[in-house]
């Protein structure tokens, strides 16, 4: 019994659950509003503002003045759910992703013609899902809230006016909170599992920017893998008269998880003084995520209990695969004050039909974006962007693997039709 409880809570939700945000898996794309306007095409080659600290740290050398960029994005997701649902009943209204806010902030300072320094604060990974207390999916994943906040000090060096490099260590804080319901076939009531965990780990970003011709730039950025060990508490509320009483018990729990490395290659080409074209591809190594192993510290009496001992080491298969995202975009400089942008991108999902759950009900997606930049003075630019995402229909078919699991979680079958709107705004001020 307890094995099922922990697999439902800590294993899937802290590490992997995904809301309908604008990148594959549980990654986020919203680290730049100017980049959002072109569908993130040219992410590592454009270097439009201080958000290049994330997009390509080598791009800091291209900025002519000290500057600061601050902003945020909001994601409004929608899921239409149909199908059988749970054999325990419940609603399938699809309203499980609240409005999500994604903040960002960057600063770049020119030291001389070759050296630049900067820092950034952004959110590279995150999710929020909440199915509610009456939803059919609550036994397979009622609530998930996971976020990673990254602080990145950065330095860049320009060898000449053609080639520059940049590097920045990343200090990453991950925290998660989640919950799941459990059916109790012995009492006719429901139990609950809740988990909180966090960790801090270090990674790095490195990039190179090449001015290949007078009008063409090529960029390559590598975002490293980050290795976490989340530690927290698992709280279980579940009792079987005469067998075990776990009403409100808390246990130390730990989970090792690696957020994947990625490589972005981009090209920016200025057709003339008004039109600029962007293209890019991003590879993400989601195949690192083959399974999830949860380790729990049990008191001796519980470990010796035939039911309680199942709280020990738990493994769940995930078998995610590597993904590619491709994007194209364009911008048009109307005049000195206004620049208009648009872009289109396609993004693979790392999930598979066998292991997909209601926490990660996503499929391959397409995203259309528009944006604008307004510079009322040479010192200030305000960027805004809008994106619309739609996914291929995906199916979730979760079946119990034992009689115990059948009694606790039942089965869940549903078809998901996911879409989302994204809006963003940022302010860049030059000193």
pLDDT of the residue at 244: 74
Tens of pLDDT, residue by residue over 183-194, are 887 777 788 877
Tens of pLDDT, residue by residue over 32-55, are 999 999 999 999 999 999 999 999
Tens of pLDDT, residue by residue over 233-267, are 888 787 777 777 777 778 888 888 889 999 999 99
Tens of pLDDT, residue by residue over 112-125, are 999 999 999 999 98
- The answer to which of 141-150, 262-271, 396-405 has the lowest mean pLDDT is 396-405
Do 393 and 415 form a contact (C-beta atoms < 8 A)? yes
pTM of the predicted protein model: 0.89
Tens of pLDDT, residue by residue over 73-104, are 998 888 888 888 888 888 887 778 788 888 99
In this prediction, residue 196 has a pLDDT band, given cuts at 50, 70 and 90, of: confident
Instruction: Name residue 108's beta-bridge partners.
Output: 67, 118
């Amino acid at each position: 019994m307890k094995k099922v409880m922990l697999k439902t809570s800590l294993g899937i939700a802290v590490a992997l659950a995904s809301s309908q945000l604008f990148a594959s898996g549980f990654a986020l794309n919203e680290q730049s509003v100017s980049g959002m306007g072109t569908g993130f095409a040219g992410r590592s080659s454009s270097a439009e503002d201080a958000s290049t600290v994330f997009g390509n740290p080598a791009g800091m050398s291209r900025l002519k003045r000290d500057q600061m960029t601050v902003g945020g994005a909001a994601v409004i997701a929608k899921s239409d759910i149909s199908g059988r649902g749970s054999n325990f009943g419940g609603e399938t209204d699809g309203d499980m992703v609240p409005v999500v806010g994604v903040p960002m902030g960057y600063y770049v300072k020119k030291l001389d013609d070759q050296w630049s320094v900067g820092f950034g604060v952004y959110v590279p990974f995150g999710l929020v899902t909440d199915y509610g207390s009456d939803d059919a999916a609550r036994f397979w994943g009622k609530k998930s809230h996971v976020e990673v906040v990254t602080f990145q000090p950065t330095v860049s060096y320009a060898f000449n006016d053609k080639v520059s490099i940049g590097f920045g260590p990343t200090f990453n804080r991950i925290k998660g909170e989640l919950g799941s319901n459990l059916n109790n076939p012995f009492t006719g009531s429901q139990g609950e599992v809740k988990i909180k965990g966090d960790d801090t780990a270090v990674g790095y970003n490195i990039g190179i920017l090449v001015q290949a011709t007078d009008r063409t730039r090529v960029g390559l950025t590598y975002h490293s893998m980050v290795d976490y060990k989340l530690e927290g508490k698992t709280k279980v509320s579940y009792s079987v008269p005469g067998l075990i009483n776990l009403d409100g018990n808390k246990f130390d729990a730990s989970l090792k998880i690696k957020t994947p490395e990625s490589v972005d290659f981009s090209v920016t080409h200025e057709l003339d003084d008004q039109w600029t074209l962007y293209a890019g591809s991003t590879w993400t190594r989601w195949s690192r995520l083959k399974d999830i192993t949860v380790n729990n510290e049990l008191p001796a009496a519980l470990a010796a209990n035939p039911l309680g001992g199942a709280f020990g080491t738990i493994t769940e298969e995930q078998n995610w695969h590597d993904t590619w995202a491709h994007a194209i975009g364009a911008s048009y400089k109307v005049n000195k004050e206004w620049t208009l942008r648009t872009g289109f991108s396609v993004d693979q999902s790392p999930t598979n039909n066998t292991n997909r759950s209601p926490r990660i009900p996503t499929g391959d997606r397409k995203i259309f974006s528009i944006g604008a930049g307004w510079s009322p003075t040479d010192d200030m630019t305000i960027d805004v962007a809008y994106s619309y995402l739609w996914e291929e229909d995906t199916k979730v078919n979760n079946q119990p693997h034992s009689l115990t699991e059948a009694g606790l979680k039942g089965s869940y079958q549903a078809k998901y039709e996911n879409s989302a709107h994204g809006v963003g705004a940022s302010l860049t001020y030059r000193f």
